[in-house]
Chain A
Amino acid sequence: MPLWLDLLVRVVAVMVAFLVLPLVVGQAEHKVMAHMQGRVGPMYAGAFHGWAQLVADGVKFVQKEDIHPDGSDRTVFRLAPIVALFPYLVVILTIPLGPNGLVAQRLDIGLFLVLAILGFGVVAVLMSAWASANKYSLLGGLRGAAQLLGYELPLVLAAASVAMAAGTLSLPGIVEAWRPWWLIWQAPAGLVFFIAGLAEIRRPPFDMPIADSELVFGYMTEYTGLRFAFFLLAEYVGIIVIAGLTTVLFLGGWHGPFADQLGWLWTLLKVFALSFVIIWFRVTYPRLREDQLQRLCWLILVPVSLAQLVLTVAVKSLL
């Protein structure tokens, strides 16, 4: 395959994944939440069980008026949704789907890149919060920044544990090195990573920065139309990214029966199973209060991930 064709295929594949997967997760969220609450959810758009509901939502968002608050900083206000969405696009590039190089961009230090880029998301929260010129937005943004900075630590430590176990920072390399018994060995790190990841994408029960019952909608309060849709899209891509990273790092990515042919299917299956768990969490748990949130991070997740590092080193040196 010539280089340009290879490049084109990869770019198109990533764009399709970026546009389709969040819609699937979004629709699943509508339906799963509805059924868990004894409703049926959207039923009319697209005739069959409301499958086109999110497409209709998208059309609605495009039609809405693009409003800036009076005292806002317009340039920063406009840039923030793009900055929120961009890091996830880069992260999707690096998540391996299947064996034999089925990944958009194979990088030697993919894990490090992913962690660095995910950390960049805080900037978008602060930008949107400050530029909105709204007290609720600012409060939400400050909560968000404190939460993201705090949970970054257990996230990185848990990822470091699995990188040490695999002896590489490359995401496909980690999946290749993965063995089924790692499910037990790396279980604490996996749990910590998943919970910290939930907090990083501000999903319930970690949605204190958004907290619609007290802060209107946090740092997104003033956004309308397409810009708001960007934030919403970022949230659903975030679900895919966190589920994908947990799959790749802790659940063995493409490993499963017939991995050589069906590896990509296993990865997708695990990603969707984890996305389902993320939606399930939203329906099940009430929102954590700010002090409970920080307590969970600093007194439980950080010590557990540090203990996991010691365990990883001990087992690794015994082998």
Chain B
Amino acid sequence: MTIADVLMIALGAVAVGAGALVVTSTHLVRSGLYLVVSLGAIAGLYLVLGAELVAWVQVLVYVGAVVVLLLFAVMLTRAPIGPSTDLDRPIGPSALIGAGVGLGLAALFADAFRWIEYPRGAPGTAERVGAEIFGTWVLPFEVLSILLLSALVGAIVLSRPDVGRREVKPDDPRETTDRAKEEDEEVPA
């Protein structure tokens, strides 16, 4: 075993262990913090594999933005210190799905690769990733950019009630009844 192998196994164990803690911990915010550890360990795995750029993108996007947004949202709503006993966590189905996917993937990979040893690829430096993205993969990259842009515009439209609202005339019976109905539906039963 080389050092890289040992690091792979150790980081993998940290990632899986922290991931398990995310779903088993009864502390809401701690779950989010375990997610930071898990995603950080995955960034470490990328580093060991030589994908430097992907590793730091993982830290920048997932640890620095996605998890922080998640923690932020939890703290804005309900984030008690100490265990939350009223969490709805059906263990059966999730264990079944998790174990099924894990075993299935393991079997698939074991069958596909057997014990063939592949030469290690060239390290994924920023230069190489950039050349690949803007050379071979430029079309999917641009399509994804358009998808992200439309999602961004959609988010702005949804979050701003003054964009795209229809004029409501007080003497239009259809509109007012619709609005009344909507308001009724919004009240939780």
Give the CA-CA distance A141 to B76 in the complex, in Å: 11
**A120 cross-chain contacts in B, Cβ below 8 A:** 59, 63-64
User: Interface digits, B25-67 against A, CB 8 Å rule (1 contact, 0 not)?
Assistant: 0010110010010000000000000001100110110011101
Asked if B81 and A126 make an inter-chain contact with CB atoms under 8 angstroms apart, the answer reads: no
B33, B64, B75: the one contacting A142 at CB < 8 Å is B75
- B16 contacts A by Cβ under 8 Å: no
Q: From A74, which residue of chain B is reached at the shortest CB distance?
A: B81
User: Interface digits, A99-136 against B, CB 8 Å rule (1 contact, 0 not)?
Assistant: 00000000011001101110110110011011101000
- B134 contacts A by Cβ under 8 Å: no
Asked if A126 and B56 make an inter-chain contact with CB atoms under 8 angstroms apart, the answer reads: no
Q: Within the complex, what minimum Cβ distance (angstroms) separates B68 from chain A?
A: 5
Asked if A126 and B68 make an inter-chain contact with CB atoms under 8 angstroms apart, the answer reads: yes
Given contacts A72-B81, A76-B33, A126-B75, contact A115 B68 (CB under 8 A): no
Asked if B79 and A130 make an inter-chain contact with CB atoms under 8 angstroms apart, the answer reads: yes
Give the CA-CA distance A113 to B52 in the complex, in Å: 9
- A38 contacts B by Cβ under 8 Å: no
**A146 cross-chain contacts in B, Cβ below 8 A:** 72
- A34 contacts B by Cβ under 8 Å: no
Give the CA-CA distance A126 to B32 in the complex, in Å: 11
- A257 contacts B by Cβ under 8 Å: no
Q: From B76, which residue of chain A is reached at the shortest CB distance?
A: A142
Q: Within the complex, what minimum Cβ distance (angstroms) separates B1 from chain A?
A: 23
Given contacts A72-B81, A122-B64, A127-B33, contact A109 B56 (CB under 8 A): yes
User: Interface digits, A77-113 against B, CB 8 Å rule (1 contact, 0 not)?
Assistant: 0000000000000000000000000000000110011
Given contacts A72-B81, A117-B59, contact A149 B29 (CB under 8 A): no
Asked if A108 and B76 make an inter-chain contact with CB atoms under 8 angstroms apart, the answer reads: no
Give the CA-CA distance A16 to B127 in the complex, in Å: 34
Give the CA-CA distance A59 to B33 in the complex, in Å: 32
Asked if A123 and B63 make an inter-chain contact with CB atoms under 8 angstroms apart, the answer reads: yes
Asked if A116 and B68 make an inter-chain contact with CB atoms under 8 angstroms apart, the answer reads: no
Asked if B65 and A119 make an inter-chain contact with CB atoms under 8 angstroms apart, the answer reads: yes
A119, A127, A133: the one contacting B60 at CB < 8 Å is A119
User: Interface digits, A177-196 against B, CB 8 Å rule (1 contact, 0 not)?
Assistant: 00000000000000000000
Given contacts A117-B59, A120-B59, A130-B79, contact A112 B53 (CB under 8 A): yes
Give the CA-CA distance A149 to B82 in the complex, in Å: 27
